[in-house]
Structure 1
């Protein structure tokens, strides 16, 4: 099972409005990992305590119930800090200081960038996927960041490719949807659905790039 990258966890906790004790930090990390492995319903506070190296009573001194732990600590870390932080990090790594002459070049950088992130933080991604459907605050955060920050940059870049006749003149929203769904489909299959399959990652990434590029160009 992929675990939450410790450096990323610390960065997320550092920007939290609520200062956590070392024991609380261990509890949060353990909760994220176990929630991602088993889901919230199947996870137990005894498992979280064992993973964190604390007594189960320590959890209940800070959080009255398992749900209180999820709502009070884990979801705020994810919805208020993790998603915005990761979006800013993604934007800086992809768009800052770089010009893309070809669509292949852009897609390759995006896919390898998100591949490395998901590889290191599969646990965080699982929590987001499991809980975002049930918690409006996570959904709203995603919508705000992707619609206001990521989508405009992506749209501008796609318009540049349009002027170079690399893309057909179809709605930008359609290009965005097709690209994102294909990349996410690859990453989810690779790291969550069938992670133990004998993947040839470089080959799969190149297939994904060509599928997106040639598929969009073929649209009329």
Structure 2
């Protein structure tokens, strides 16, 4: 014996793939690649349209936003834009603000250091030049279409800020009776003003630290 038991059962051999199945697999792979590429191109086009719209809003005002002007500035064909949006009003209603995502404060303790960390996250959320300027346009405009931007980003961020303050009040780290809406507006206004009037190199102390130093005496219990 050679050490191997002969069971009399022939070894299992995987059947060779048929030419038809090989072709089908190749076709499916090619289709998936094409679909992925199309989706990527669509996302890139959407970003161009949104960025051009925001740039026009910032530089010329909401009234200057037209499909023609968006096409000229973005380099996207008018026919492509019209396939996505009925007109300029439809575009404004569906515009998306360039932000890094809603800030999350749930892991922060309601303390002096937690307050500063929260301010840093708010700043990072809006910390792109066009993003901050667009926020300023939204806050100063009475255009109903732009209220969708507030609903997307500003209002949810304000709600999370209010929840952070409420946790501080519950733990007796913050005093009662704080006007969270006014506080958030003050924070956002300060951030926008500093971005517009000052450069980051103008001070060795970051905005978040200066703002925390300013408002901490008013919020602590």
Fold in common (TM above 0.5): yes
Q: How does 1:6-21 map to 2 (within 5 A)?
A: 20=42
Q: Which runs of 5+ in 2 are unaligned?
A: 1-40
Q: 1:43 to 1:154 in 2, by over 3 A?
A: same
Query: Is residue 32 from structure 1 mapped to residue 54 from structure 2 by the alignment?
Result: yes
Query: Is residue 190 from structure 1 mapped to residue 200 from structure 2 by the alignment?
Result: no
Q: 1:206 to 1:26 in 2, by over 3 A?
A: closer
- The residue that corresponds to 1:108 in the other structure is 116
Task: Indicate conservation of the 8 Å contact 1:182/1:208, yes or no.
Answer: no
Q: Which runs of 5+ in 1 are unaligned?
A: 1-18
Q: 1:197 to 1:133 in 2, by over 3 A?
A: farther
Report the aligned-residue RMSD: 3.8
Q: 1:126 to 1:48 in 2, by over 3 A?
A: farther
Of the candidates 110, 122, 126, which is equivalent to residue 118 of structure 1? Answer: 126
Task: Indicate conservation of the 8 Å contact 2:174/2:220, yes or no.
Answer: yes
Of the candidates 77, 91, 101, which is equivalent to residue 86 of structure 1? Answer: 101
- The residue that corresponds to 1:15 in the other structure is none
Query: Is residue 154 from structure 1 mapped to residue 165 from structure 2 by the alignment?
Result: yes
Deviations 1:154-199 (A, max 9, x none): 3012332x2xxx544x31x42x24532332121021124x356974
Task: Indicate conservation of the 8 Å contact 2:57/2:134, yes or no.
Answer: no
Q: CA deviation at 1:37?
A: 3.3
Task: Indicate conservation of the 8 Å contact 1:23/1:54, yes or no.
Answer: yes
Task: Indicate conservation of the 8 Å contact 1:37/1:123, yes or no.
Answer: no
User: Aligned partners of 1:154, 1:124: CA distance in 2, in Å?
Assistant: 26
Of the candidates 68, 81, 88, which is equivalent to residue 59 of structure 1? Answer: 81
User: Aligned partners of 1:115, 1:147: CA distance in 2, in Å?
Assistant: 13
Of the candidates 144, 147, 155, which is equivalent to residue 134 of structure 1? Answer: 144
User: Aligned partners of 2:56, 2:149: CA distance in 1, in Å?
Assistant: 19
Larger helix percent = 1
User: Aligned partners of 1:124, 1:207: CA distance in 2, in Å?
Assistant: 24
Q: CA deviation at 1:114?
A: 1.8
Q: Indicate the structure (1 or 2) with the bigger Cα radius of gyration.
A: 2
- The residue that corresponds to 1:200 in the other structure is 203
TM-score under structure 1 length normalisation:
0.59
Number of residues of Structure 1 aligned to a counterpart in Structure 2: 178
Structure 2 counterpart SS, 1:95: coil
